[in-house]
Structure 1
């Protein structure tokens, strides 16, 4: 990894509690936890960065702290439900100038997607407080990258108050373009697979999908890209079909009455 300038800290929020798939980050594929596989992919980015796992103080999350130790990754433990505070405190603890939010439910995240967003952010130094590839999203779901200055995160931490803003960390930023300088990076292919392809994990079918992708690609190409996955799915549509019933399902669906910048077409109801 190169291009060391500002201190870049990638915060990976992870905990064992999950309504639909408890313990998902510690589920294993080929003898490695999903968290471990994801950390491998984060460490493939070209930019210099410190990866930090941020978990809760709950006893059930001791296993995540232990896993971080096994991976030689620092771990911060904080609030269970106020993820904004946990994110801010982790970034502060590790003296971040630039903070990345990468959800732990994105084990297939493409390192090139992270680099693309970082390159845009640094090429436009001091122009933007927040850069993401989510507003609007174009990558397959599960390639979520959000970059913010520490000053932006601190302002958000001080001012955000609604439960949704505390739980999801960044809505206060992208919902207030009058307060922050915001930019978005689109998938370089020009395609939009955000509602049709799902590379994230929230259901058992998602795990089965992710497991199939890793087993197909990882043994011969551990740094496979988003395009490699798409190629695999075109060759083997039965893999795409494993979790296609959940494509487009995301947390926005619970807050459409609160979110000003999200339209109904950017989410859909969960499958029965």
Structure 2
């Protein structure tokens, strides 16, 4: 049986409206993007990692970083991320594409393995498998796996800005009946998707992530999601750094456009999410 070609695509840009240049912020002497790719490559399943950035001049620094570190990259449309993903799948002749956003520097490699393994262990059964629809892992462990044919169908048929910017909504929200989909949940049986925020979009997120790295990385560079939760149990003040943004995600801007997302799956910055200390 032929070995499938798998490409993990990390979408990265410098022009973040809330925290510009976040992917190049330092984490223990290396850019955040480096640390994130380092974690991705701890996954057991073999794959090629490709950074998907844009042709905007602001992203020249990402190209220079990839060249310096020997990381594969592709530069495409600033706003059409669906096209970026499709072009990478074509260029690398991928059978399977894995979408991971660059704002997940605490992603647990086990989450990648869990979703990818489920997809591979059910050959020809699913077009799209994720851990996001609905999510259960702490926010920042985002993994979406799709066949190249699935990605191509979305690329050919998606037209709305929402579908182009966020890559996969055509698959899981606009026309889900066209695809065979599955969702895998966090093996703990818990749902921390709205209570624990391990992603980066605000300065407080960066401070939280930096604190976690400084506490765990020096003695255990392969620290897990469980290790982070144990740290927060011992040092609840770290949880409080960015707790006000728990549950805040891009869905909040598109509730009137999304068919499968409810108001309970997102919050606004002005909301006051319930402190989840009892879950630590």
What TM-score, normalized by structure 1, do the two folds share? Answer: 0.97
Distance 1:263 1:142 in 2: 19
Q: Secondary structure at the match of 1:178?
A: helix
State the shift of 1:87 in Å.
1.1
| 2:104 matched residue in structure 1 | 106
Distance 1:233 1:102 in 2: 24
1:182 aligns with 2:164: no
Q: What stretches of structure 2 of length at least 5 have no aligned partner?
A: 272-280
| 1:231 matched residue in structure 2 | 230
State the shift of 1:177 in Å.
2.1
After the TM superposition, which segments of 4 or more aligned residues of structure 1 sit over 4 Å from their partners? none
Distance 1:236 1:70 in 2: 37
Q: Number of paired residues?
A: 269
| 1:158 matched residue in structure 2 | 156
Distance 1:46 1:271 in 2: 40
State the shift of 1:122 in Å.
0.9
| 2:114 matched residue in structure 1 | 116
Distance 1:5 1:113 in 2: 22
| 2:25 matched residue in structure 1 | 27
- Pairwise CA RMSD of aligned residues? 0.9
Q: Secondary structure at the match of 1:241?
A: helix
State the shift of 1:271 in Å.
3.1
Q: Secondary structure at the match of 2:178?
A: coil
How big is each residue's C-alpha offset from its partner over 1:32-64, in whole Å with a ceiling of 9 and x where there is no partner?
Answer: 100000010111010010000011001111110
Distance 2:241 2:130 in 1: 28
Match runs of 1:9-158 below 5 Å: 9-158=7-156
Q: What stretches of structure 1 of length at least 5 have no aligned partner?
A: none
